[in-house]
Amino acid sequence: MSDRPLAGLRLMHVHAHPDDESSKGAASTAKYVAEGVDVHVATCTGGERGSILNPAMDRPGVLEDIAAIRSAEMDRAREILGITQDWLGFVDSGMPDDPADLPVGSFAVVPLEQPVEALVRLIRTFRPHVMTTYDERGGYPHPDHIRCHEVSMAAYAAASDPTQFPDAGEPWQVLKIYYQFTFSRARMAALHQAMLDRGLESPYAEWLSHPSDPAWDARVTTRVPCADYFDVRDAALLAHETQIDPHGFWFAVPREVQQEVWPTEDFQLVDSKVSTSIPEDDLFAGIPYPVAD
């Protein structure tokens, strides 16, 4: 638990699809919830074009009702994590082979100001002290993840400016914004070696065969210790039954190995309106307490 009071602090995660809140930073979320932080997730799309990634859920009729199913999955994950959540209301773009084939009206192709205004309105309502989102690559090159980055950064800048979207509520200054670094090469390499040392098959061998970019991992500034909440993260993941195979990649490394070898979730501090020292171990480092409402 934190050695300083956190009640009254607010954290907003901005994600592209339902299940992203459980696969990226969920243990940190659970830790902060347990410590009294109000955590809110903004989900940009309904995940309507998601595939069935769990063989046990690949049943007739599931895809026809995928939007409702993914909404119900999000309900369960939200309860497990102890968060509040809003849908921004945009339609999943899918991941076509040709970016020119993105569906008309989907999140990745609607005019940018539409989702930016929706997120600004939510920021000004919830008034987070800290936000997290994806890096400029989207974490991985899904068009909705890249658009999520664009929307988040634009809304972060606009939310405090009274001249932008004046009908979207009273301006609010978010104090810090981070990129999530769930799949850093350093983390994958450490877990890969730990699996080999234990005589186990690593799920990261193929990923690590690709050329590395040392400058990318060097961007991590903040490692939040949250190993005690990996079980909550895993339960939230499993709530997304259509997306998460309980016998698949997400659970290939035993939880106790993860807790021992890489007990943190990692972030890059992108901008801060308060003074802080790098490296950090807390997304709220440098924010004075008590905070203004």
> In this structure, is residue 253 part of a structural domain?
yes
Tell me what pLDDT residue 2 has: 61
> In this structure, is residue 84 part of a structural domain?
yes
> In this structure, is residue 196 part of a structural domain?
no
pLDDT in tens, 65-118: 899 999 999 999 999 999 999 999 999 999 887 777 899 999 999 999 999 999
Q: Which residues are annotated as a binding site for Zn(2+)?
A: 17, 20, 145
pLDDT in tens, 16-38: 999 999 999 999 999 999 999 99
pTM to 2 decimal places: 0.95
Number of domains in the chain: 1
Q: Which residues contact 22 (CB under 8 A, 6 or more apart)?
A: 77, 81, 233, 236, 237, 239, 240, 244
Q: Which residues are annotated as a binding site?
A: 17, 20, 145
- Cβ(55)–Cβ(74) below 8 Å: no
- Cβ(81)–Cβ(21) below 8 Å: yes
> In this structure, is residue 192 part of a structural domain?
no
pLDDT in tens, 218-264: 999 999 999 999 999 999 999 999 999 999 999 999 999 999 999 99
> In this structure, is residue 204 part of a structural domain?
no
> In this structure, is residue 293 part of a structural domain?
no
Q: At what angle do helices 143-158 and 113-126 cross, to 10 degrees?
A: 60
What confidence category does residue 214 fall into, taking pLDDT thresholds of 50, 70 and 90? confident
> In this structure, is residue 202 part of a structural domain?
no
Region 118-140: what's the mean pLDDT? 96
CATH of the domain at 245: 3.40.50.10320
CA distance 18 to 67: 10
Q: Give the long-range contacts of residues 70-76, CB within 8 A, separation 24 or more.
A: 70/17, 70/18, 70/19, 70/46, 70/240, 70/242, 70/243, 71/18, 71/46, 73/18, 73/19, 73/239, 73/240, 73/241, 73/242, 73/243, 74/18, 74/19, 74/21, 74/43, 74/240, 76/239
Give the residue numbers spanning the domain of 72.
10-184+218-272
> In this structure, is residue 203 part of a structural domain?
no
Average confidence score pLDDT of the chain = 95
% the chain with pLDDT above 90: 85
